[in-house]
Structure 1
Amino acid sequence: MITSVTRRLALGLFAGATLMATAVSAQDFPNRVIKMVVPYPAGGPTDVIARIVAEEMGKSLGQNVIVENLAGASGAVGTRTVARAEPDGYTIVFGNNQTHGNNMFLLKEPGYDAIKDFAPLAGAGAFEHVFVVPNSLPVKSMQELVALAKKDPGKLNYGSTGVGSGSHLATELFMTRTGIKMTHVPFRGAAPLVTELMAGRIDVSNSTLPSVLAQFQAGEMRAIGIASPQRNPQAPDVPTLREQGITDADAESWAAFFAPVNTPKPILDKLSGTIITILNKPDVKERITKLGFTLNVRDPEAFKPYLAKEIQTWADVIKTANIKAE
């Protein structure tokens, strides 16, 4: 007969063995390749930043860190893959306000819970949004754009990188603040949007700065306003919306690293510490900042309240704009 004392002893031994195994696995981590999922196509600004960090992680951890692009369903395909992955630290994701925020309200079946299924590793910062127009559109300021849109509501169209993306919701916020109406044209990522904008088939886009920086610097399109409190050093000649009399319309698309929620804490701590150290390295900061990305590195405890506030902010925008789940 198994006595209560025997049972407690067995449970104690089991718990001790489990803790020891976790400690050993954390101490040995990593001993094989780590996969960093980017839930968007290769070549975009999110992908470029992920590859910079992955390369540096490989150097720091002594194991290759490969980037895998799993695009689809507004970033949900790659994100749900990580949510369902083994929580051992070998599969992480570089997510953003769409994958870990807006999808909860705009997709009927995202296949994951952005809060319950993930443990934040580090907040990286944000992509600022900039309004760009084709050279053929006769506007050179935000006020001229607003005036043109008000002449014939709905005639102008605006492109975004998908329903629920930062560029979509930031433009909805802008239209709410200015009282204008434009027609939404969603694209699958930044590359096709930029192509159509330069061709003049899209009238305007409130795009993330890295996705259009090279194009407007080369004169292939015109930047008329940046939706941030101050001008960006990578685009110092582009005035802010506030400078042009448009308030409460600033927007940013944040980005952060996540692991599956049940990943052992020692492994989470190791990944988090490594990523934060990398993002604070001067050479890495310079490379990423040149892309037009604004670094604002947060550890997990600092990022959690920021995440909660951002989710609520954009949930309110979605409700106000009456955007329906797909």
Structure 2
Amino acid sequence: MFESTRSFSRRHGLKMLAAAATLAVAGGAAAQGAFPSKPINIIVPFSAGGTTDILARIVGQYLGEELGQPVIIDNRPGAGGNIGGMAAARSAADGYTLFMGTVGTHAINQSLYSKMPFDPIKDFAPLSRVATVPNLLVANPAQPFKNVKELIAYAKANPGKVNFGSSGSGSSVHLSGELFKSMTKVDMVHVPYKGSAPAMTDLLGNQISVMFDNMPSAIQHVRSGKLRPIAVTTAKRSRELPDVPTIAEAGVPGYEATSWFGLWAPVKTPADVQQKLHAALVKVLKNPAVIKKIEDQGGDVVIDTQAQFDAYIKSEAAKWGKVVKESGAQV
């Protein structure tokens, strides 16, 4: 009788364990299927008001609507985007922290900085590019030059007197200026800021002379007459400012620089969560309202597969690494 009771208890215990295991698996699947169940943060590695921030807020608003959870923008400026990049790379890989990065954070900084606090390839899972934008060479109206040729002549006659601001060392805004210096042989002084917005404030106040700023954060000041447009950095003229020449056609043949922005997750984010985020992001970027908002800022929407974005990042890192080396740019 004792043996029979023990045998029954053992069998009953095994059934209970099996049932518990089944519930655990089902519960885990349900938890994964419930993503997202809380707000999502997008870390922006530059200050509020700059292009990266503007794009993150446009995308974040509609991504939140698509996923059914609020999206919170978390600005972490400094070190050319490296402070925000480090925070994102070290965050929990659960899909609730994303990173709105740039050509600077993922294709330039690794060549510009002797030591990086994160690996832009190994520490992140690319979701998709969001947009490409021209950089716009703008000047305070009080400056004594109105076009590229006059700027070059003035800078050569006054070495070191022209200073150009940027959203941080290693940003496309910075490298656009370094490429201009290298190709024109002019002596201009780089002044890095913790984001585009504070640099723009000083440009508007004539504390710095010029800026090769991303179109979205500069275009409003051009339209209002507070800044003088000199040229765009892309190979073709901008749709939003068709009367402004390219730097190449204005006197520096072969000059071209384009900024791009994208969304990443920490590399160990589960594959199914990455897929859900990518699918939602694609829907957002196909939304006519989003397309219009980005185009109104002078940008163009870009949609990549994760593999396409990964390959593009690697090709851009090789391209800008060469520019950094040839220009002699330093942090």
Q: Same fold (TM over 0.5)?
A: yes
Aligned to 1:83: 89
Letter in 1 for 2:89: A
Matched residues, percent identical?
36
The answer (yes or no) to whether the contact 2:285–2:303 under 8 Å persists in 1 is yes
SS of structure 1 residue aligned to 2:200: helix
Letter in 2 for 1:299: T
Aligned to 2:16: none
Aligned to 2:207: 201
Separation of aligned partners in 2, 1:313 and 1:26: 39
Letter in 2 for 1:323: A
Separation of aligned partners in 1, 2:163 and 2:116: 28
Separation of aligned partners in 2, 1:313 and 1:52: 29
Q: Confirm whether residue 157 of structure 1 aligns to residue 163 of structure 2.
A: yes
110-119 or 140-149, larger mean C-alpha shift? 140-149
Aligned to 2:112: 106
- After the TM superposition, which parts of structure 1 deviate over 6 Å for at least 4 consecutive aligned residues? 16-22
SS of structure 1 residue aligned to 2:150: helix
Separation of aligned partners in 2, 1:239 and 1:18: 63
TM score, norm. by length of structure 1: 0.89
The answer (yes or no) to whether the contact 1:23–1:266 under 8 Å persists in 2 is no
195-204 or 312-321, larger mean C-alpha shift? 195-204
Distance 1:174 1:18, change over 3 A: farther
User: How do residues 177-192 of structure 1 correspond to structure 2 at under 5 angstroms?
Assistant: 177-192=183-198
Separation of aligned partners in 2, 1:170 and 1:18: 54
Separation of aligned partners in 2, 1:21 and 1:110: 39
Q: Confirm whether residue 143 of structure 1 aligns to residue 167 of structure 2.
A: no
Separation of aligned partners in 2, 1:22 and 1:121: 24
Separation of aligned partners in 1, 2:304 and 2:234: 19
C-alpha deviation, 1:46, in angstroms: 1.5
User: How do residues 8-23 of structure 1 correspond to structure 2 at under 5 angstroms?
Assistant: 23=29
Distance 1:266 1:242, change over 3 A: same
TM score, norm. by length of structure 2: 0.87
Q: Confirm whether residue 122 of structure 1 aligns to residue 143 of structure 2.
A: no
Match of 1:300 among 291, 303, 306: 306
Listed as ranges, the gaps of 5+ residues in structure 2 are 1-21
Separation of aligned partners in 2, 1:19 and 1:301: 30
103-112 or 51-60, larger mean C-alpha shift? 103-112
Listed as ranges, the gaps of 5+ residues in structure 1 are 1-15
Aligned to 1:227: 233
Separation of aligned partners in 2, 1:199 and 1:51: 27
SS of structure 2 residue aligned to 1:236: coil
Q: Confirm whether residue 39 of structure 1 aligns to residue 39 of structure 2.
A: no
Q: CA RMSD, aligned part only?
A: 2.1
C-alpha deviation, 1:110, in angstroms: 3.0
SS of structure 1 residue aligned to 2:259: strand
SS of structure 1 residue aligned to 2:92: coil
Separation of aligned partners in 2, 1:284 and 1:159: 29
Separation of aligned partners in 1, 2:193 and 2:113: 16
Separation of aligned partners in 2, 1:40 and 1:195: 15
Match of 1:322 among 311, 315, 328: 328
Q: Confirm whether residue 175 of structure 1 aligns to residue 219 of structure 2.
A: no
Aligned to 2:282: 276
Aligned to 2:56: 50
Letter in 2 for 1:284: V
